[in-house]
Amino acid sequence: MKQRIAALLQEAITNLVVAGHLPADLPTPELTRPRQEGHGDFSTNFPLMAAKAVGRAPRILAADIQGALGHSPWIERVEIAGPGFLNFFVADSALLGLIPEILAAGKHYGELPRKSTKILLEFVSANPNGPLHVGHGRGAAYGDSLGRVLACAGYEVQREYYVNDAGRQMDILALSVWLRYMEAAGTTLVFPETGYRGAYVQDIAHALREKVGDTLQRPLSDILIEAGDQDPDALTDARIARLKAALGTQYQDLHGFGLKAMLADIEDDLKAFGVHYDRWYSERALLESGAIERALDRLRAHGDLYEEGGAQWFRATHYGDEKDRVVVRENQVTTYFASDIAYHLDKYERGFDGLIDVWGADHHGYIPRVMGALTALGLKPEQLQVLLVQFAILYRGGVRAQMSTRSGDFVTLRELRAEVGNDAARFFYVLRKSEQHMDFDLDLAKSQSSENPVYYVQYAHARIMSVFRQVEERGLGRGDLAQCDFTLLNTPEESALIRTLDRYTEVIEDAAAAREPHQVAYYVRELASNVHAYYNAHAFLSAPTGLREVRLALIGAARHVLANGLGLLGVSAPETM
RNA sequence: GCGCCCGUAGCUCAAUGGAUAGAGCAACGGCCUUCUAAGCCGUUGGUUGCAGGUUCGAUUCCUGCCGGGCGUACCA
């Protein structure tokens, strides 16, 4: 409906221009949904925006346009309001065609025409050095819903998880697993502060021991050398180096075992959370393919690399970053940043029209250097959009909970899912705008889960399904759509419900454009509200024949939109509750 | 110190530069002999952190303060 009204408005303005009543150079008219109910279904502030260019008072200009609009079956009336708004009131009859349209499209209703835009969406990409925690859960829920919304809006979306399987943190995991493995074999030791202390490390160690027996045992004193005056990080690196030397080629078995176990856990966790990926992209594979060297060579050829202190630096300051960044360390090992340059180069070379990275907000300082590197490589940085997901601050018993992978003191996504359920967790996450700091009260989410707004929406869907079950049981039948007289739907509740249904495709479009799946969550809640109000105000089964069929058609349409909207959020639409 | 994000009802959060700033929860008062009361109807609740500026119009944009989060590695 919005497009129809927009077209009418544009036509009226064009006619005035052609007739010489308006200059040709005017701002583009915008049509919005007013907040205030009395302001109609659509509103434009065009007279306000164009008043200066036209040289006429806004309300006078509004009257001119109102006169040029003429009559349309879609519009009941057009009002001039406030300082010069034009408010459009859509005729109820114009909206009734929507119901059979929704029923015909069913689960595909809301899918917008395909756009020829290919988007690569990367999200979560948590290091596989521990289970996903509730902070990752937010990124997962947001990224996945965004992917679904974009796909629904017609974009071609590829979803990717970048696996950081090559860095130092994975070596620390390997060391941690090995120490627990030695413990499992009966060795007593003091577990280092810098290691990963979570219980999952012990689980991996036990599984490892079952698989390889004692073959990875080495004298502890060879590895767990004492600190001396070394700082903890240097000590950890020294221990890793010794472990690598002691295990030789077997180190890869250890490293690979820990990685595989963690990755399997993460993959399984996300899958159970309804989050799916098209590709798991390995940093190590990138390294082994020589892609990093190629990317660095390209920067070098462009004069953007230099050597200092034995390390290779990228001239990030030339591209707006606050300092230059190391890409190859003094010890000749490339940095994570070097990998990421190569990874993003690869993304560009794969021919996408748009790249979206969903990052935790703690990585925000990383954006300028990545954008800088892309510019240096001769790529268009504006093709990459980095979306930051703010931290979820956890409260347990009114006290802020710590989130540390190292100490193992964190609430895992798996625990959250088990305690509050996938549907509630996903809805809760996506109800907040991603860049908004979020307080996650675990006690509230757990103990009052039945008051979670997700049930409000699901209940609306289940209620409709229940009505349809009774229709079947009583042998009433749903009637023939072609025979229906939809003009019988004339109560305020019906009018409100139809108007909300009419907004659905606009919500998809807006949510996709703004990368804001929370808009869908708010919409679906509002739709549920309309459904509940309707349900309480009017009878379906006992309505007279004729009226009954059109009412059933209306709630049938509402049911599809509820289910489709929930689907975009990765939330189920149950038949019963 | 510098950079990024944020500050809206008691709490959790919405609001493409628009009109009287909205929901949910909590609180209070009503509604089940009828399709699921996880529901509906109503009431209460605000100097949009503070001070300026831009303009027809600011929660939104700009500047400065105040408060919170994050970052400021040859970690990822």
Residue A228 has a pLDDT of 66
| Beta-strand relationship, A438-441 and A311-314 | unpaired
Residue A227 has a pLDDT of 65
Instruction: Give the distance, in angstroms, between residue A500 CA and nucleotide B61 C1'.
Output: 31
Residue A526 is assigned to a structural domain of this protein: yes
Using the predicted structure, report yes or no on whether residue A237 has a pLDDT greater than 90: no
Instruction: Give the distance, in angstroms, between residue A141 CA and nucleotide B57 C1'.
Output: 38
Can you tell me the distance from the alpha carbon of A393 to that of A438, in angstroms, rounded to the nearest whole number?
Answer: 6
Using the predicted structure, report yes or no on whether residue A302 has a pLDDT greater than 90: yes
Q: Is residue A445 very low, low, confident or very high in pLDDT (cuts 50, 70, 90)?
A: confident
Residue A536 is assigned to a structural domain of this protein: yes
Residue A233 is assigned to a structural domain of this protein: yes
Instruction: Give the distance, in angstroms, between residue A437 CA and nucleotide B64 C1'.
Output: 25
How close are the terminal C-alpha atoms of chain A, in Å? 34
Q: Give the pLDDT confidence of A164-175 residue by residue, as tens digits.
A: 998 888 999 999
Quick one: which residue's CA is nearest to B20's C1'? A36
Q: Give the pLDDT confidence of A400-442 residue by residue, as tens digits.
A: 776 666 666 678 899 889 888 899 999 989 998 888 888 777 7
Instruction: Give the distance, in angstroms, between residue A420 CA and nucleotide B21 C1'.
Output: 33
Please state, for a pLDDT cut of 90, what percent of chain A lies above it: 64
Can you tell me the distance from the alpha carbon of A343 to that of A166, in angstroms, rounded to the nearest whole number?
Answer: 13
Instruction: Give the distance, in angstroms, between residue A430 CA and nucleotide B49 C1'.
Output: 27
Instruction: For residue A347, give the 3-state DSSP assignment.
Output: helix
**Lookup: tokens for A255:** 């490293």
Residue linked to tokens 């895992």? A412
Q: Give the pLDDT confidence of A316-344 residue by residue, as tens digits.
A: 999 988 899 999 999 899 999 999 999 99
Residue A256 is assigned to a structural domain of this protein: yes
Domain limit, last residue, from A242, A265, A288: A265
State the CATH number of the domain containing residue A48.
3.30.1360.70
Residue linked to tokens 């009433």? A476
Can you tell me the distance from the alpha carbon of A49 to that of A54, in angstroms, rounded to the nearest whole number?
Answer: 10
Residue A252 has a pLDDT of 93
Q: Which residues pair with A158 in a beta bridge?
A: A120
State which residues form the domain around A12. Answer: 2-90
Nucleotide nearest to A85 (CA to C1'): B19
B chain positions with any atom within 7 Å of a protein CB: 2-7, 11-16, 18-26, 34-41, 56-57, 68-76
HEC profile for A207-244?
Answer: HHHHHHCCCCCCCHHHHCCCCCCCCHHHHHHHHHHHHH
Residue A513 is assigned to a structural domain of this protein: yes
Q: Give the pLDDT confidence of A56-115 residue by residue, as tens digits.
A: 888 888 999 999 888 888 998 999 988 889 999 998 888 999 999 999 999 999 999 999
Instruction: Give the distance, in angstroms, between residue A360 CA and nucleotide B1 C1'.
Output: 25
The whole-number average pLDDT for the span A455-470 is: 95
State the CATH number of the domain containing residue A535.
1.10.730.10
Using the predicted structure, report yes or no on whether residue A144 has a pLDDT greater than 80: yes
Q: Domain check: are A458 and A554 in the same one?
A: yes
Run of H or E residues at A308:
strand A305-308
Residue A29 is assigned to a structural domain of this protein: yes
Residue A406 has a pLDDT of 67
Residue A361 has a pLDDT of 87
Using the predicted structure, report yes or no on whether residue A39 has a pLDDT greater than 70: yes
Domain limit, last residue, from A55, A90, A125: A90
Can you tell me the ipTM of this complex?
0.94
Residue linked to tokens 């759509």? A481
Residue A405 has a pLDDT of 66
Residue A278 has a pLDDT of 97
Mean pLDDT for chain A overall = 90
The whole-number average pLDDT for the span A269-291 is: 95
Residue A403 has a pLDDT of 66
Please state, for a pLDDT cut of 70, what percent of chain A lies above it: 97
Residue A574 has a pLDDT of 95
Q: Domain check: are A84 and A177 in the same one?
A: no
Nucleotide nearest to A576 (CA to C1'): B36
Q: Domain check: are A458 and A560 in the same one?
A: yes
Nucleotide nearest to A449 (CA to C1'): B38
Q: Is residue A456 very low, low, confident or very high in pLDDT (cuts 50, 70, 90)?
A: very high
Using the predicted structure, report yes or no on whether residue A4 has a pLDDT greater than 80: yes
Can you tell me the distance from the alpha carbon of A72 to that of A372, in angstroms, rounded to the nearest whole number?
Answer: 53
Residue A459 is assigned to a structural domain of this protein: yes
Run of H or E residues at A441:
strand A438-441
According to DSSP, residue A409 is labeled B
Q: Give the pLDDT confidence of A16-30 residue by residue, as tens digits.
A: 989 888 888 787 888
Q: How many structural domains is chain A composed of?
A: 3
Domain limit, last residue, from A57, A90, A123: A90
Which range is least confidently modeled, A131-140, A218-227, A439-448? A439-448
A36 or A1: whose pLDDT is higher? Answer: A1
Q: Domain check: are A469 and A555 in the same one?
A: yes
Q: Give the pLDDT confidence of A499-532 residue by residue, as tens digits.
A: 999 999 999 999 999 999 999 999 999 999 999 9
Residue linked to tokens 């979670």? A452
Residue A404 has a pLDDT of 66
Length of chain A: 577
Residue A255 has a pLDDT of 95
